[in-house]
Amino acid sequence: MVARAMEIHEGTGGGMGEPRKILREADSRMIVQLSVEELKSIVGDVLEQKLKRLSISRPGGLLNADQAAEYLGYSTDWIYKHWQKIGGKKIGGKGLRFDVADLQAWIESRNA
């Protein structure tokens, strides 16, 4: 459980002369130490969840450049520059399409 620090500022409220309290949440960031294996496990879980979400929304497994960028965590510009390297295919006049399995294979080849 994360404890949240609160600041209380008192000042003069409206016309009744009552004290006014303003609560502000402190910065909720924290420093966490993880082993390499723990980090890999977390990243793997997140990628697996994303893969399942994308597979459900796209039964054929084909993604456009924006979806591929979101899946890989890169910009759309990067996707267009490297589309052949990551397994993109040109399909008619619809632009580029990416098979989720090809994207996953590219991710795994980088982790090897």
More confident residue, 112 or 29: 29
For 104, which DSSP code? H
Residues 102, 84: Cα–Cα separation, whole Å: 11
Q: Which residue has the tokens 């890169």?
A: 74
Q: Which residue has the higher pLDDT, 65 or 60?
A: 65
How many of the other CB atoms lie within 10 Å of CB of 69?
18
Q: Which helix (H) or strand (E) holds 49?
A: helix 36-57
Q: Nearest CA to 64 among 76, 74, 52? A: 76
At residue 65, does pLDDT exceed 50? yes
The top-level CATH class assigned to 36-111 is mainly alpha
> With 60 as the cut, is the pLDDT of residue 103 above it?
yes
The arithmetic mean of pLDDT across residues 85-112, rounded, is 88
- State the pTM of this model: 0.49
Phi first, then psi, for residue 73 (nearest 5°) are 80, 25
Q: How many angstroms separate the most distant Cα atoms in the chain?
A: 72
For residue 97, what are the β-bridge partners?
A: 89
